[in-house]
Structure formats: structure tokens, C-alpha cells
Structure 1
């Protein structure tokens, strides 16, 4: 940016110099020479204008930095605060689906084109349902012990993952809450808190049980969901436990 500013200063000096030359020689300069000088000044003005526009764009880019951007040192700090929990998870799980030492998931990769396609998909489906998503919610989850990917791949079994769902902004007890949702086969909105029951499943004495009302789900949900908005295997490269 400093280099661009220096270029502007140079062109401004040249432009003023040319103007002085014109004023000094106004009485003795012939028409062709005057026309050349005016053309040169216009070219320099155009260059200065373009540079100012570029500098303005750079300034706009700086102003457009998202509010959730953090510094690398902070990212390093919070990443390594999870180290002890990773060690605990590795000890508790013991072995992965291929009987190798378990290594807890520390990162997930999703292809940018797949994410953009997913966002477009959500917007199109939601428009048909006449709702406007307020954002996306990421839900932590765990693959089951018997989970197999691509027929033979058992490395993902018991690994931490997450699924994504769009959200609708609702007012509950006077405060705005963004609730995850999906759509049934008739484009009716279904809140995830109702169909999944996040607070409805609990372990007791090593067994799973459901609260009353957990199975209050439409019969259409038992069929294949044509309009599901829930994404998990977005790019085909879910967690492998590698630190990248």
C-alpha cells in the first residue's frame, strides 16, 4: 500500500509540473504541443484515479474483516487446552474400528465447493417452504461402534463428528433463539429439538431411555426424507483423527 501511495505522489508532482509548464509557455506554445501536454495530463489523472480506487478497495477490504476473526496465538491457546481431553478420550475408547490405538478427532475438513453447494441447497429448499434461515447450527455427534464407511472402512467408528442444520430465529420467553430445522416431504418445517429430542435421551444405569413425547414424530419421517437439510458427510472426508 505504501508503494501505491508513493506512486500517487509521483503522478501528482508530474501533473503539477506539466500544468506549470503549460502556464509558463502558454503564450509561446503551439497548438500540437499544447494538445500533447493536455493528453499527458489526462493520462496521469486517469492513473491517479485508478490508484485511488484501488486504495479505496483495500480500505474497504480492511473494514470488511469479520468480527469473529481471532489471532493465531489465541487459536493456539484454545487448541492445546483440548489436549488433556484428547488424551482422556484416547484412553477411554482404547481402540478404533480396526483394533488400532484410538486417536481422538481434532479437526474436520469440508470442501469449500461442497459447503457452498449445501448453503445454496438449503436456501432453495427453504424458499420453497417459505422460510428464511437465520444461520447454521453445528451439532456434536459420535459415530456408532458398528459404523462402516465405504463397505470396508471402519476407521470412523466411535469417532467424534458433527452435523449441520439451518436455523430459524424464534422468540422464546422474550429472547431470540436460533433453532435448527429440517423439512419433511411436504416442505413443512420440523424443528430438530422436536424430531431428534436433544434433551430427551439420557443414560441411566448404563442403559438409554427416552422421555415421554420423544416419539411424537410424523409417519412421513419413517419414509425416506426427500427434503432433509441436515448435513454430515459433506465432502467425503470426515474426521480421521489427524492433526492438520
Structure 2
């Protein structure tokens, strides 16, 4: 009988120690946190139009040979005592471009029009511009409006309107030269009536200097 009681006590002691031991262990989470794939980690296919480094270098060298030298010669003839370096690139920071695209999409959505591309126009600041005589670019959003396609702005009534229709036409059907000269080549926030709103982006940074990526 004593032996039987001893076995019961021993077994009870073992069970107590096992239970106590389990209670001391920290509880594990039922489920390990899942790793959320970041948007940047997703596979993104290259868009059409990506070119090689060699092709880009060739384009840059062709421009320098066929355009930049002619621009330099012209500007030096105009003002021989002042050094002039032709513009070879215009730089927009990525944050600005993302913000610009969102801005265009927001304004277009309110105007119930769908922009589908951006036109990059070449321009020049002229003698009295903020960067005298230097070339620049400006960006114009485009869309199909009333069956016609082209760059657009937001009119005072909130609708999207084609830029080409901003100026009155002459008798020959061309844009009025006098008003076009006064308003500027394209409508801007300053030149347009207060109610109208331009979506044209400029103010990129000219180069060189610093040196381009292909010299």
C-alpha cells in the first residue's frame, strides 16, 4: 500500500513540475506577422522607348555637332564679348514631375476630360527672359476635346479647352499675331484671364554646367 502511495506522490510531483514549466514559457504568437511586399519591389516591365547608353550618347553627340555649335556661333555673333554655353539638357526633379502629373490628372478629372500624353515643346527665353538667350522646354498636357486633339487648359467655366483656340483667328484662319505676341507664345498664369488656368510646366534647370552624362 505504501508503495502505491509513493507512486501516486511521485507522479503528482512530476505532473506539477511539467505544468509549472509550461506556464513559465512565454506564449508564442499564434501567427507570424506576414511580410507585406512593397510596391517598389513588384516587377515592372520596361516601357516602350527605352534606349541603350550608346544610343543616348550618339543622340547627345549628334545634337552637339549639328545644333549646339550652330547655336554657339549665332549667340557669339550677337554678343561676342560675352561667353555663351548652349543648353544641352533641361532637368526636372522627380518629385516635381510626379506632383505635376497628379495635378494635371486632378484638374482634368474635374473638367471631365482624359489627358493621355504630355507634349514637350522646345523654347527660348529671348533677350529679356529670366535666363537670357538660353533654350528651354515646357510641358503641355494633351487630350481629345470635342473631337479635336491637342494641348489644353482649364477655362473660367471649369471646362477643358484647346490652347490653339485661345487666340482669335485672322481672316486666313491663323492665330492673331498681335494678341499672340502680347499674351506670349502660350497662355501662362500671368497672361491669361484670372478665371482661366494654365497647366503648362516650365522652370526646369538648364545644363551644362555641370557636365552632361555623355561628354
Q: State TM-score, norm by structure 2.
A: 0.62
1:227 is displaced (CA, Å) by 2.2
Q: CA deviation at 1:189?
A: 2.0
The equivalent position to 1:165 in structure 2, one of 125, 131, 140, is 140
- What residue in structure 2 maps to residue 187 of structure 1? 158
1:116 & 1:136 partners in 2: Cα distance?
A: 13
1:82-114 per-residue CA deviation (whole Å, 9 max, x = no partner) reads: 1121011001012899x6311111011101111
Give the aligned partner of residue 205 of structure 2. Answer: 238
1:228 is paired with a residue whose SS is coil
Give the conservation status (yes or no) of the 8 Å contact 1:96–1:158: no
| Rg comparison, structure with higher value | 2
> What is the deviation of 1:179?
1.5
Unaligned runs of 5+ in 1: 1-49, 149-155, 201-208
The 10-residue stretch of structure 1 (184-193 or 78-87) with the greater mean CA deviation from structure 2: 184-193
CA deviations 1:193-222 (Å, max 9, x no partner) are 33369xx9xxxxxxxx996552499xxx75
Deviations, residues 56-101 of structure 1 (Å, cap 9, x unaligned): x77x44xx1111111101111111011121011001012899x631
How many residues are aligned here? Answer: 162
1:80/1:187 CA distance change after superposition, 3 Å: same
Unaligned ranges ≥5, structure 2: 1-34, 181-190
Superimposed CA distance per residue, residues 158-188 of structure 1 (whole angstroms, 9 cap, x where no aligned partner)? 111111111114798xxxx852111122222
Which aligned pairs between 1:83-94 and structure 2 lie closer than 5 A? 83-84=64-65, 85-94=67-76
Q: CA offset at residue 120 of structure 1?
A: 0.9
The question of whether the paired residues in 2 share the 8 Å contact of 1:137 and 1:164 is answered with yes
CA displacement at 1:144 relative to structure 2: 1.7
Q: Distance in 2 between matches of 1:124 and 1:194?
A: 22
Matched, 1:133 2:115: yes
Aligned equivalents of 2:143, 2:206: Cα separation in 1: 28
Root-mean-square deviation over aligned CA pairs: 3.6
Q: Which residue of 2 aligns with 1:227?
A: 197
Tell me the SS of whatever aligns to 2:57: helix
- The structure that is helix-richer by fraction is 1
Which one of the candidate residues 81, 96, 101 is aligned to 1:114?
Answer: 96
